[in-house]
Structure 1
Amino acid sequence: MASIFTYEPDLPRVASPWITPTDSPKPSTPQPKDPATASKFLSSDQLSDYGVTKLEAEPQEGPTEYKLHLLLRPRRNYSSSSTSSLVSGSQQRRQQSASQASRDSPVLAPSNQSRQNRLEQLTTQLLWRLQQSAPYHASATSDLVLPKLPEAASSLQTPSRPGKLLAGLEESRGALYEIGVSDDGTFVGLTKDEMDESLTNLRAMAASLGCNVEVVRMVVVGDCEWQESMSGVDATANSSKGDRLGKRPFSTFDGQKASLRQHAKLWVAEALVTPDLSSRKKPQVPISSPSATRAEALHLGQSPGFPEQTPLEAHKATEQLRITLTGPTTSGKSSLLGTLSTATLDNGRGKSRLSLLKHRHEIASGVTSSVAQELLGYKEDEIINYAYGNVSSWTDIHASAEDGRLVFVSDSAGHPRYRRTTVRGLVGWAPHWTALCVAADDCENAPSGAGGTSSAQEILGTAGAGIDLANAHLELCLKLDKPLAIVITKLDLASKTSLRQILSKILTAVKAVGRIPSIVPPDQNKVVLESDLATIPQTDNDTIQKIVDQMSKSDGLTSIVPIIMTSAARGTGIRSMHTLLSKLPIPSTPTSHDFVGPVLNPEQPACLFHIEDIFGVPASHEPLASKGVSSVDSGVVIAGHLRFGRLSVGDTVVAGPFPAESDEDESPPNKSGARSSPSSFGASLSHPSSNELARIASRNLVSASITKGEWYHAHIVSLRNLRLPVHSLEAGQVGTLGIVFNLLEEELSNSVFERSPPTAPRVRKGMVVAIPSRHMVETGHTLQAASGFSGSFEDGDINSVTPGSLVVVYIASIRASARVLRVTPHDDHESVARLTEEMDDVFSLDSAVEKEEPEPLIFGSDGVTDLTFEFITNREWIELGSQILVMPGGGHGLYHGSERGEKGVAGLEGFVGRVIEVAD
């Protein structure tokens, strides 16, 4: 199997070899790039203006290609050429001295088949050069449309517009073609008609891949001469034709034949091939405006001086399902996902999961500590993973599963020590379904063989005695009230007694919350080969379809819980698991008013993107280094899910909330980037003092109307949906955004020291990227960050949370530390505006400890209780009506490590509610 890690973080630059010629001395210090000088070079056609006589040799890899010509026919024979003596290592034959070959041995025209073969080879070579400047290299070429050579025409015709952009080329930085140059960098040159024909062929090849061609420079490198024999009737006509081609004809008559001697200049061209992005939505920037520079036009995908082209036909999107694997440690989650994605059976020691592990300590310990994500594809009865055909990356899976289904699977940690990673996998990325993995041998009499499941006492020591980790995960999944499927793993290690106990425990918990369990009959095949995991059997298809039909007839997707039994070692149930993933219903597309109606929540943005992860790669790249000064990268690549709306490349967005600008009397921010992490609560790190909490909280209580620097304007420069570069991101999809902040340039000072360029703000997880609604723009309103909020809970155990206690809250992509301000019955809920007046009294933790008294039980109407929270470290943007998960953050949990370096472990006990009010 090919390597699945095909991302190239350090791509070769698409730099013109004209910048650093071999015979030109390289300056020891960088020279300033004068736009006027660059413009002169781009418009000049004289080689002397460049001071170059030869280019560097053609690199074997990279986005630069040297071609003597791109003709589909042999070149003419020249009697003399000023560059012929310099040709070496090329297909250009030495010119014959007597040069009667044009009359004695005419060159036969190649057949149409040989010309078509050369055209296909040239197009494939162009594709390879374009992929050299793309972060992801796709090996699938199922949608490659090669240009067809017309039967009667001697050359191709330039198409009116590029065709469909080939998958994987959306983020290619382009390719440079040096035409008329040999492989060692020697200038050979082409006549004007040959150069025009070569550029026409290049445009046709590029159009078949969905790309544009821009001629960067055309330079005269020499002269040539050749003789043509023709009848006297055509001599006069050819004379005028020679003038049009830039040739100087000299005729000598011999009887009825005329020997026509032609002179012409030899040209070398540099052409830039870039993906056609005109179908992406872009802001209208008038090119004639002085503020609209050439770089801005290129960044928006426009051609300077030309109108925007008609958008391409919208590409039919493949349906996408997101599912999260959760469960206790050693329950076989990673091994199951490894078998699903690679069709490799496990050996009981983690063979199938090796491709998923990110860190060395995960391989050594066998314990997953991070979130691993994989992509599966389904089309009809075919399973598309890394064992399917020529698939080596997610881009190949996209291409192979077109018009089918894509399943985005996240594997989360299961050890109690990594509770925050476990909960992020359940709450973050907005999964459509949750798959709880429970080992079939997870009981007291579990076997001790290879791959056996560890008990809680073996994992946690004496503190884990009597704790059921599988039941804790099951209770949390049921509290979140999301579509749930239960996967019983390690069926090969289970006895009938242990399997009966596990099923009894699961069925009891599922029925207790009013859900209906539906057990999928286990696979009757005792032996399943890896080759059998390529397709979905019809029997499994019919069985799963019956369960899906029951879901469609029930009240919702949460009413029925499918239960499936698998074994990653023997392959039992793996095909049934594939069938389940290919058939599970997908919820409807989310909108901005799913949680609360427009009357209660009128200030919703038009588009909302939750940030789940940040990557340290550049957000944008200069397509050609010789085209201008490259600015300081003020962008960042972020990952997350699009809650609602639609994002496209070129959209102007706002990102935040960032820490507000502090007053002069406050302490300066930490320039090193270190900050108090919400994860410090519940871990072995020391808690901040009450004075520190009060100071941080009072800073967060600044009114949103006077805060500055909370929201930054930016524009989107790249988009990926499940690693596939796309034109736009639709509601409900996950992907990555490359955004560049619109930073204001500071005024130049008169100091001798150069002022440092403005730096981009630091993005963190939990922030949002949004497009303000039309109403917000017209009224001048902006997004309001929240310093606190109120939530409504139906769980009666929420009364164990007392005012002043520290908790960790999870809302969408937010994971933040908060302090409980008030606990009130639902009927007596007070507004947050009035509660903020009493926050000073609540902040005094020392006095609150002194007056500590037993809190009476508080119950609202129908057992509903409202809690008011206040964020400790940062202000957050919260959507009214969104789900909230509150977990204890200040207690010892299961146990608190007392030794140096030992981490405390907290349980999965939490309370689930809804946000009913937000405090600015």
Structure 2
Amino acid sequence: MASGSIFTFDTDPQRVASPWLAPEDSGRRSNSDHGQIQPGHLSDYGVTKLEAEPQEGPTEYKLHLLLRPRRTYTAMSTISSTQNSRIPASRSKIATAALSASSQSRQVRLQQLTTQLLWRLQQSCAYHALNPKDLIIPKLPDDTDDLSQAMTPQKPLPGLEESRGALYEIGVADDGTLVGLTKDEMDESITTLKVMAATLGCRVEILRHVIVGECEWLETSELVDSVATQPAQIARQARLWVVEALVTPDYSMKNGHPDGSAEGRREVKESPRATESVVHPSRGRSTTDQLRITLTGPTTSGKSTLLGTLSTGTVDNGRGKSRISLFKHRHEVASGLTSSVAQELIGYKDRAIFNYSQDHVESWIDIHDSAENGRLVFVSDSAGHPRYRRTILRGLFGWAPQWTILCLAADDTDASSTKDGASSTANDVLGVAGAGVDLAKAHLELCLKLKTPLAIVITKMDLATKASLHRILGQLLTHIKAVGRVPKILQPAQGSVQEWTAVPSADLDKVKAVTTEMDRDGDLLKFVPIILTSAVSGAGIGMTHALLESLPLPPVPTANDYVGMALNPEQPSCLFHIDDTFSLPASYASLAENPDQNDMGTVVSGYLRFGQLSVGDSIIVGPFPSGEDDFKGMTPEDRASPGNYGLSISHPSSAELAKIAIRNTVAASTIQGEWHKAKIVSIRNLRLPVNTLEAGQVGTIGIVLEMSQEKSAESAFDTPLAAPRIRKGMVLAIPSKHMADTGMSLQAASGLTVSFRDPNTASLAYGSLVNVYVGSVRAAARVKGVSKLALRNGSNRAKPEEIEDIFDMNEHDEPAPTYDLEFSGGVQVTLELLTSREWVEMGSQILVLEGGRNDRSGLEGFVGTVVEIVD
């Protein structure tokens, strides 16, 4: 079972190593001289037999690759007749794939051989991300051996370009015996290998020819002007050869041009998506519906256990057995507390459930294949302990979930405190400081404030009492109705089920009744489904699967979702929010093309807010701090963040640290923002290698920054500038045509104005430090102004009643601006970002957390809308 991350690689895939060479000679690749392969003799290598073929790894031994029956030899110096009779039975793979071509069509044999090559190429990949069903094998004529038309390489399958290659030892038995082939049969085998490689977008390089022996066979002569009634048998002799060939991705084809010429590169630059026609459609882009969900809730409410049961199809033992696979860190396993965001993928199609309980599902790629044209549900499991507040909010904001599922435990914490799996009280979590704190209420109130559709799952029904269930449902219904939403309690079928291969039809009908009402109403925020579950007994798990399969998807996001283009002319045509970065090469293909390059690129993960990104697209990345300011060479990760001071709910000296932070923070307005050009070299959508990422999809993108050259005073040559470090919160974007025509750059905000409906926001103190969460940005900010807005004569336009800002450090006075609000009354807050500039979208939802002693749960914040951006 894969770990809970959207980005999983084998960081040390198996290396391609020739069995002809000793480990210390691994750098010696062939017996070539200036590119010409020189025939070698067995005596040159000092071996009479190779090591047996490895069961796994990128090395394959083949007796031959003929698409016809091999000729019969009367004598071979390399093997005895007894050995020759045993070779076909040495392994079933040889019997079916190598020596039974006489009973198979050429097409079927080529399919088998190509699938086998694909598997060997995957062995040297960082991630095995391909499936044999994606192969498009060229159709071979049945009446000819001419394969020259099928030797033109296709474009490498997405993901296979990262393979480091595979070695083929042709003329070698599985046990390493050097059997050999005659020159004509070897030429045919190499031609077949080239056809196989071309199908996968690869090329073949011959590394060594070795003469291993001699053979003899009888050849029938034709009867021409002869009185003989029987054709004569003529004895033929020839040398036996063994060939070592290296199959590697053909990187010259990655841009769709066979020779990688400048003409090809120009064509791709003009139309980066034109090359997709040569790729299997299901790998060009994922067309399966994708739903993004975040599980949230207080600590020990059963989030990880619920996700473990949903993704593995197994019930829990009451002590968290099903959640172990989701934990990334040892301390998580030891404590049972999630401290990081973990993800899993579940597939649905025609009521069938595709998770790790299926025998054929071993990875997310298998789930993609099984659920194609159905639905993929990407579920993020976040932390619940206030100590990991950033992780909680990252799950709610960083991944921009389309639905939030709030998990609340139904057990009576007083009566079940000694039982396995019992929930923790606020005192257990926060100690003495937790007296009077209701963590479940804090999570619920935050979820109801956000503009994200909400569903609620009541967990631990096996530990619930009638009183505890009545209490929690009463609180839920009261709070949900108080904000104008409609709760919908979905009662699962009676009895427990411990195997889920399909969504129960009875549960699906109940869920469909609610989702149909949602679709008819058109407002996904109006209804709040509530499900009662137990991961131990299995009650409600089928209903939860039905809910995940049926929840309505929001419309495809566009650049105009928040505000019109007239109000936000700097909107790019495509925008990708970066939530995380990885220290991995952006593409092994680029490394193979340019082994001496300094910049290996960067892999970033996040979601595509709107637009479309494809491999080969030129993009801009930022905002970075300018290299001309005092922070040259430093990123915000190198500096102390003021967000780390005064905002901890557990630090005893938070007030004192806040004073220190105020004196040492640097306003983002003093730092110039820069944008750097880059090129996309690889894309994965939920681990599936694709050429294009669509709006609303989650993925990982490999990029290489295009850094300019600078001339060193100590050198006469230009040297490339060091690539700056990319951090969370940045964005990838493609400027719009309007921006390109006018020379306009993307904004890099140093300040924001936010409007709030909650009148309690006016309690924010001037000059105080706050943390803001917007998109994938988590930044520290200083409150620069608070304005109470009142409705005047029916107009929504009002002048702020500014209170003197005693912490204003500007040397000049600025006139108080006026604002237009979507609602009558409310509060507007002006924020100054600290440490770094950020890209913030106009009209986006923002969360402001004051922290300190006023926020014991860590989630008591204010949710508003960005109405003005200061560049």
* TM norm structure 2: 0.83
* Structure 2 Cα separation of the partners of residues 568 and 497 of structure 1: 21
Moved more, 171-180 or 545-554: 171-180
Instruction: Indicate if the aligned counterparts of 1:187 and 1:268 stay in contact, CA closer than 8 A.
Output: no
Indicate how the Cα distance of structure 1 residues 582 and 90 shifts in structure 2: closer, same or farther if over 3 A, else same: farther
Amino acid at match of 2:584: V
One-letter amino acid of the structure 2 residue matched with residue 726 of structure 1: V
Find 2:686's aligned residue among 689, 703, 722: 722
In the alignment, the residues of structure 1 paired with residue 850 and residue 465 of structure 2 have an alpha-carbon distance, to the nearest angstrom, of 37
Q: Against the structure 1 CA distance between its residues 363 and 312, is the aligned structure 2 distance closer, same or farther, given a 3 Å change threshold? A: closer
Name the residue aligned to 1:778: 741
Match of 1:853 in 2: none
Q: Secondary structure at the match of 1:111?
A: helix
Secondary structure at 1:358 match in 2: coil
Question: Aligned pair in 2 of structure 1 residues 523, 718: CA closer, same or farther (>3 Å)?
Answer: same
- Distance, in Å, in 1 between the alignment partners of 2:827 and 2:583 is 43
Counterparts in 2 of 1:376-775, with a 5 A limit?
Answer: 376-441=346-411, 448-525=418-495, 528-531=496-499, 533-622=500-589, 629-663=595-629, 669=634, 673=638, 675-676=640-641, 678-683=643-648, 684=651, 697-698=666-667, 700-702=668-670, 710-747=674-711, 758-775=721-738
Map 1:100-139 onto structure 2 (within 5 A). 111-113=102-104, 122-137=113-128
Paired residue secondary structure (2:470): helix
Contact 1:212-1:274 within 8 A present in 2 as well:
yes
The question of 1:875 aligning with 2:837 is answered: yes
Distance 2:605 2:861 in 1: 27
Aligned counterpart, 2:36: 44
Q: Deviations for 1:20-68, whole angstroms, at most 9, x for unmatched residues?
A: 944x9859xx99x9xxxx9995741334799975898565542233434
What is the correspondence of 1:270-419 to structure 2 with a 5 Å cutoff? 270-274=245-249, 282=255, 287-289=260-262, 310-312=277-279, 314-315=281-282, 317-419=287-389
Q: Distance in 1 between matches of 2:68 and 2:400?
A: 57
In the other structure, the counterpart of 1:855 is: none
Partner of 2:324, secondary structure, is coil
In structure 2, what is the Cα distance between the partners aligned to 1:743 and 1:536?
52
In the TM superposition, what is the alpha-carbon distance from 1:505 to its structure 2 partner? Answer: 0.6
Q: By how many angstroms is 1:402 displaced?
A: 1.3
Code of the residue aligned with 1:491 in structure 2: it is M
Retained in 1: the 8 A contact 2:12–2:126?
Answer: yes
CA distance in 1, matches of 2:39, 2:31: 15
Q: Secondary structure at the match of 2:201?
A: strand
Return closer, same or farther for 1:623/1:445 CA change in 2, 3 Å cut-off: same
SS in structure 2 opposite 1:133?
Answer: coil
Q: Is the 8 A contact 1:607 1:772 kept in 2?
A: yes
Structure 2 CA distance for partners of 1:15 and 1:757, relative to 1, 3 Å: farther
**Tell me, which stretches of 5 or more residues in structure 2 are unaligned?**
88-98, 790-796, 814-820
For 1:179, the equivalent position in structure 2 comes to: 170
Please report how far the alpha carbon of residue 786 of structure 1 lies from its aligned counterpart in structure 2 after TM superposition.
Answer: 1.0
Give secondary structure in 1 for the equivalent of 2:531. strand
Structure 1 Cα separation of the partners of residues 133 and 263 of structure 2: 44
Q: Aligned pairs, how many?
A: 830
Q: Distance in 2 between matches of 1:203 and 1:235?
A: 42
**3-state SS, counterpart of residue 392 of structure 1:** coil
Partner SS for 1:701? helix
Q: Provide the aligned C-alpha RMSD in A.
A: 4.7
Q: 1:736 to 1:598 in 2, by over 3 A?
A: same
Contact 1:487–1:565 (Cα < 8 Å) also in 2: yes
Choose the corresponding residue for 2:783, options 794, 803, 820. Answer: 820
Contact 2:413 2:422 in 1 (8 A): no
Cα separation, 1, equivalents of 2:670 and 2:366: 50
Distance 2:731 2:178 in 1: 53
Query: Relative to 1, partners in 2 of residues 1:53 and 1:611: Cα closer, same or farther, differing over 3 Å?
Result: same
CA-to-aligned-CA distance 1:76-118 (integer Å, 9 cap, x gap): 467899xx56999996999xxxxxxxxxxxxx99632497886
Letter in 2 for 1:344: T
SS of the aligned residue for 1:843 comes to coil
TM-score scaled to structure 1, two decimals?
Answer: 0.79
Structure 1 stretch displaced more, 788-797 or 42-51: 42-51
Distance 1:643 1:2, change over 3 A: closer
Shift of the 75–614 alpha-carbon distance from structure 1 to 2, 3 Å rule, reads same
Q: d(CA) in 2 for partners of 1:702 and 1:153?
A: 74
Q: CA deviation at 1:869?
A: 0.8
Q: Do 1:517 and 1:562's aligned partners in 2 also have CA atoms closer than 8 Å?
A: yes
User: Over residues 230-278 of structure 1, what are the superposed CA-to-partner deviations in whole Å (9 max), with x where a residue is unaligned?
Assistant: 4455799xxxxxxxxxxxxxxxx99974847576895836242538996
Shift of 1:403: 1.4
Which one is further off, 728-737 or 175-184? 175-184
AA matched with 1:217: I
Partner of 1:800: 763
C-alpha separation in 2, matches of 1:529 and 1:586:
28
Q: CA deviation at 1:513?
A: 0.8
Deviation at 1:198, TM superposition (A): 1.6
Q: Within 2, Cα distance between the matches of 1:308 and 1:648?
A: 10
Q: Is the 8 A contact 1:378 1:404 kept in 2?
A: yes
> Given the superposition, is the C-alpha separation of residues 234 and 359 from structure 1 closer, same or farther in structure 2, using an over 3 Å criterion?
farther
CA distance in 1, matches of 2:80, 2:594: 33
Q: Is the 8 A contact 2:156 2:250 kept in 1?
A: yes
Equivalent AA in structure 1 for residue 498 of structure 2: E
- CA change 1:338–1:689 in 2 (3 A) is closer
Aligned residue number for residue 92 of structure 2: none
Where structure 1 has 5 or more consecutive residues not aligned to the other structure, the ranges are: 95-107, 237-252, 849-858, 895-904
Matched AA of 2:362: S
Q: Please state whether the residue corresponding to 1:354 is helix, strand or coil.
A: helix
SS in 2 for 1:122: helix
How far apart are residue 321 of structure 1 and its match? 0.6
Name 2:750's counterpart in structure 1. 787
How far does the alpha carbon of each residue in 1:803-831 deviate from its partner, in whole angstroms, 9 at most, with x for none? 21111101000000000111124545689
Deviation, 1:663, is 3.7
When structure 1 is superposed on structure 2, of 768-777 and 506-515 the one drifting more is 768-777
SS at 1:361 equivalent: helix
Change (3 A) 1:916 1:234: farther
Query: Superposition pairs for residues 41-120 of structure 1, below 5 Å?
Result: 43-47=35-39, 53=45, 61-76=56-71, 111-113=102-104
1:104 counterpart residue number = none
Which AA in structure 2 matches 1:332?
G
